Amino acid sequence: DTGVSQDPRHKITKRGQNVTFRCDPISEHNRLYWYRQTLGQGPEFLTYFQNEAQLEKSRLLSDRFSAERPKGSFSTLEIQRTEQGDSAMYLCASSYGTANSPLHFGNGTRLTVT
């Protein structure tokens, strides 16, 4: 069990550019989540996958955001035409089993949009 891995750890980009983050969950975990965390706040739900199917998306996930989990393994989160308000920590978490199984978080990707 190597834990949830996220790449990159930090990303600085100019407004209007596209960025893509990667998450590698714990290998046997079938559920994968993306959360966003801003300074002084708790994680906010963005989207959820069960295996390769994206089953739920938050209204926080605008049309500029897209997430994929091909083959039910790693996942990517893409933000198009970034805005300064997108600056945040993007956290990936995975779990195994039912909806209320414990979440295992990665260390996040910190995005700064200048």
Binding site for another protein (CB under 8 A): 4, 31, 33, 40-45, 48, 55-56, 58, 91, 93, 99-100, 102-108
Tell me whether residue 66 or residue 103 sits nearer to another protein (CB atom): 103
Tell me whether residue 29 or residue 31 sits nearer to another protein (CB atom): 31
Tell me whether residue 31 or residue 86 sits nearer to another protein (CB atom): 31
Cβ of residue 12: shortest distance to another protein, in angstroms? 16
Q: Which amino acid is at 47?
A: T
